[in-house]
Amino acid sequence: MKLGIVGLPNVGKSTLFNAITNAGAASANYPFCTIEPNVGMVSVPDERLEKLAEIYNPDKFTPAVIEFVDIAGLVKGAAGGEGLGNKFLSNIREVDAIVHVVRCFESTDIIHVEGSVDPVRDIETIDLELILSDLEIVGRRLDKATKALKGDKSMQKEVDFLKKLTEHLESGKSARSIEAEEDYEKEILKTTSLLSYKPVIYACNMSEDDFKGGIDKNANYLKVKEIADSEGAEILPICAALEAEISTLDDEEKLLFLEELGLERSGLDRMIQKCYSLLGLISYLTAGKPEVRAWTIEKGTKAPQAAGKIHSDFERGFIRAEVVSFKDFMDCGGSMTAAKEKGLVRSEGKEYVMNDGDIVLFRFNV
């Protein structure tokens, strides 16, 4: 999974990226400090995996991984090439979801590129650049489909939907908000690689005082929440400065620090949780002495396709999946033998839909 961190200059993007990845990206109080995208790989925290590692003491421990891409600050006119805009927009096109960092804190020390703090305006600025870039992409596809229509009347539906999509974007609305009822419409949206169609998490960057004092008292956060609710997007209240502090602590100190803040999880953990929810992802687990590992799949994935995540031969030669839920396994003292004796290890076929936390052994033959 690849997540792109975007936003206007000086909203705290790179500070947040540094904190969650410890990658040491440049962070400074002026626009375009970040030009080339910084990339950081982050392991997905999973207590279930850690408990399996304690039981099996494996030779290899492999958690799921998320790739974060810190994309340089966009500015008004980016779709027309302002501030190296086209280059930045192409970087966004490659990610699975967007983490849109929005400034919700006041500060005289950190200059806002627009001269004042207004999260609604900032969101509209970024959205407009994504929409303008999408209009260009949709226009090219519409031209191609219109030409193809002359020799293939079955293209009429695609042409009609692309015209509807163009009008929708021209009205200033993101592709995410268009109603696509037919399967072919959904397929067009998926295959056209539209920036404004990508799922979004709004990361509301607050000051330390605001974050500690109660997020619901922050008027800027409430404005962003209203936008997120209307779009069906996720929202993440966060303080990049605090996350930077948390990232320097060891595990024990981190827990104490979070406890003082009244939080159960760090901003990174909460962000990952929201990403999984937003993208409809779950993890299944494989466990043994050679390796304990988490595999990320979409909700609704059937056993053969889940097996294919490990190796294409597993899917091609799929026979069955031997499955036990993590909870049942732990209730049996972390013993697969005990789970089998109690009939909790199931033999599932090709139609089995995987569940989050399934511990699986795939049987296959090629």
pLDDT in tens, 260-309: 888 888 888 888 888 898 899 999 999 999 999 999 999 999 999 999 99
* pTM, entire model: 0.82
Q: Helix or strand or coil: residue 76?
A: coil
- List, for residues 162-220, the tens digit of each pLDDT value: 999 999 999 999 998 898 888 989 999 988 889 999 999 999 999 888 877 778 888 99
Tell me the C-alpha distance between 71 and 89, whole Å.
9
Do residues 60 and 16 lie in contact, with contact meaning Cβ atoms separated by under 8 Å? Answer: no
Kindly compute the dihedral angle of the four CA atoms of residues 317, 320, 325, 330, in this order, to the nearest 10 degrees: -90
> Could you tell me how far CA 63 lies from the centroid of its own chain?
16
* 190 DSSP 8-state letter: H
Q: Which two tokens stand for residue 205?
A: 């960057």
pLDDT in tens, 72-100: 655 566 555 544 445 567 777 888 999 99
pLDDT at 160 over 60: yes
